[in-house]
Amino acid sequence: MDNSVSQVLSKTKRSRQKPKSMLNGAITILIAINVMAIILVILSLFIKTSPAAIQSMITSFKVKSAISISVCSIILSLGIVMLLGTPIAYGLSQKKGGFYALIEGVFSIPIVLPPSVTGLALLMTYGRRGLIGTWLNELGVTLPFSFIAIVIVQVFVTMPYYIQIVKNGFANVDKSIAEAARTFGASELEVLLLIYMPMTFKAMLSALILCAFRAAGEFGATIMFAGNLEGKTQTITTRIYTLYQMDLTQSVSLAVVQIVVFILPLLFLKIKLD
């Protein structure tokens, strides 16, 4: 009797393991296919250029200017996103209910907006005849087609990612620790700075890395709101577009430079962080 029961249990266990092993195998194959597809796409750029062409791009004054504008704008926009997004993420992590869910949904709108629509909307808001731009123009302030316009675009498109990731990180903090701190007289600012932020450091850094990726690759909204003025608003991404219209080989070489200068270091940092 015991032997028959054991055989039935053994067969049942094997029957359950077989679909699981098949699923794991299918997942492994899908991962391998997608990884190879991504590597193939990136590799195609490196194959179509040469070290000499890459060196020519790096030594170009216009490329140096585009890289400088990209780096400076990304650093500034990440600082603004962190400064504004951290308290917002903290507030959303502490509140529940339909109203705050609606607010969170509003913050997510820039993620789903097409880049061209984002650029046009920013132009209609901050342009000389825009809702806010009209008042700014009277004060002598012009935002479109300036360096600040690049920063505005990057903050607008990256803020939702930062808020969502950091909010989820804050939500995982043990609330009993924060309650204990409040009991001993800690203010909400102290709770945020001394408890929540240190305990979610990795989440905040991961969010900033993702935002840097997003900002570095931004094109559509940037070219519509900030333009593509050499030495003023031309980022490395819009410079690639300019070269694409003139010389495909040079645009490919600059694309490789962008991968090496921006994407690979950020990707390495993300791997080290995980």
Distance CA 255, CA 46 (A): 9
Residue with tokens 């000499």: 52
Read off the pLDDT of residues 129-140 as tens digits, 9 standing for 90 and up: 889 989 998 888
Read off the pLDDT of residues 78-121 as tens digits, 9 standing for 90 and up: 999 999 999 999 999 888 877 888 888 899 999 999 999 999 99
Which pTM was predicted?
A: 0.85
Distance CA 252, CA 232 (A): 22
What does the block give as tokens for 36?
């190879």
Residue with tokens 């900033």: 208
From the options 2.30.30.100, 3.40.50.300, 1.25.10.10, 1.10.3720.10, give the CATH code of 53-273.
1.10.3720.10
Cα dist from 242 to 124, 171, 222, 238, whole Å: 25, 44, 14, 6
pLDDT above 90: percentage of residues in the chain: 53
Distance CA 232, CA 242 (A): 14
Task: Name the residue ranges covered by the structural domains of the chain.
Answer: 1-47, 53-273
The count of residues in the chain is: 274
Q: Which residues contact 263 (CB under 8 A, 6 or more apart)?
A: 213, 216
pLDDT band at 19 (very low <50, low <70, confident <90, very high): low
Assess whether pLDDT exceeds 70 at residue 6: no
Read off the pLDDT of residues 180-215 as tens digits, 9 standing for 90 and up: 888 888 888 899 999 999 999 999 999 999 999 899
Backbone angles phi, psi at 48, to 5 degrees: -85, 10
Which pLDDT score, from 0 to 100, does residue 241 have? 93
